[in-house]
Structure 1
Amino acid sequence: MQTIAQILAPLVLLLPGLGVVEVPRDAAFPLDPFQPQAAEQVSIQQRVTVRINPRPAPMPLDAMRFDSEVERDGPRFVERKIGKCLTMDSISGVQPIDNSRLLLFLRDRRMVTAKLEKGCQGREFYSGFIVARNSDAQICAGRDRLQSRSGMGCQVSGFRQVVQIND
């Protein structure tokens, strides 16, 4: 059951608005909500992050074998040099390959591996990653950090393009 104080408290708060009770106007703290507040300094900061979602591989990763000496049926892949930077807008998805590499799927249907710095686990990026957008809109090796959704931050140490070998 409610006490009388709980019932009357909302009514007491309405009294100054109705003009029943005079509220002292202090110059330091104006109570008029429609008066513009004086701002001495305004700082606007903008930070843009890009999220890369996980994407399933076009074929199972165990069937994708990188240039190895074990003979298996199916396509073989090798990694070739691609450069130190990738544009952020060209990446459409990501999937972890092993403990230190991520497989990036590009919009032009190419695949690129991103080697992570020592101590980073590729499996932490199972749900994608976010990266801060730079002025050049690129992810560069040795410069940018990928932030996994689980909280791990890793720097990319290199990119390699994945190319299928036709035997």
Structure 2
Amino acid sequence: MTVHQRIIIRIPRVRDPRVTMLRERPVRWHEKKADHCQRAGEFVGAAITDAHSVDLMLRDGSRLRAKLGSDCPALDFYSGFYLAPGSDGKICADRDAIRSRAGGSCEIESFRRLVAAH
């Protein structure tokens, strides 16, 4: 007998409290190098802040930017999306995709760690 298991994680779109509390001075983010693969269980929310990327909020309060291809507009994911981790329980750039609730999908080209500018 062979048992197959598939896990799909729904990532809700959230409002960033740092932006809404500081309307006159929104947070500016700098991109830094990030690991190629991320543990899927760490993602707790997302925000669309750019035409070709999705910002992912992590349990520890940090952020990652998932860069998508230029032919894949992030606005397609505005109503929410799903991530399906590999058998290793991770989401990896150049391997995994973000799937929109409408049925489309885009491969993640890279991850970038976001650091608030001071």
Q: Which TM-score applies when normalising by structure 1?
A: 0.62
Report percent identity of matched pairs: 33
Larger relative contact order, structure 1 or 2 (CA cutoff 8 Å, min sep 6): 2
Checking the alignment, whether the CA contact within 8 Å between 2:18 and 2:26 is kept in structure 1 is: no
Structure exhibiting the larger radius of gyration computed from Cα positions = 1
Matches within 5 A, 1:10-159: 45-60=4-19, 73=25, 75-159=27-111
Q: Secondary structure of 1:154's match?
A: strand
Higher strand fraction (1 or 2)? 2
Structure 2 gap segments, 5+ residues each: none
Instruction: Give CA deviations for 1:31-53 in whole Å, capped at 9, x if unaligned.
Output: xxxxxxxxxxx775432212111
Checking the alignment, whether the CA contact within 8 Å between 2:31 and 2:113 is kept in structure 1 is: yes
Q: CA RMSD in A?
A: 2.3
Checking the alignment, whether the CA contact within 8 Å between 1:95 and 1:128 is kept in structure 2 is: no
Aligned-residue offset at 1:112: 1.1
Checking the alignment, whether the CA contact within 8 Å between 1:103 and 1:112 is kept in structure 2 is: yes
What amino acid maps onto 2:11 in structure 1? I
Aligned-residue offset at 1:93: 0.5
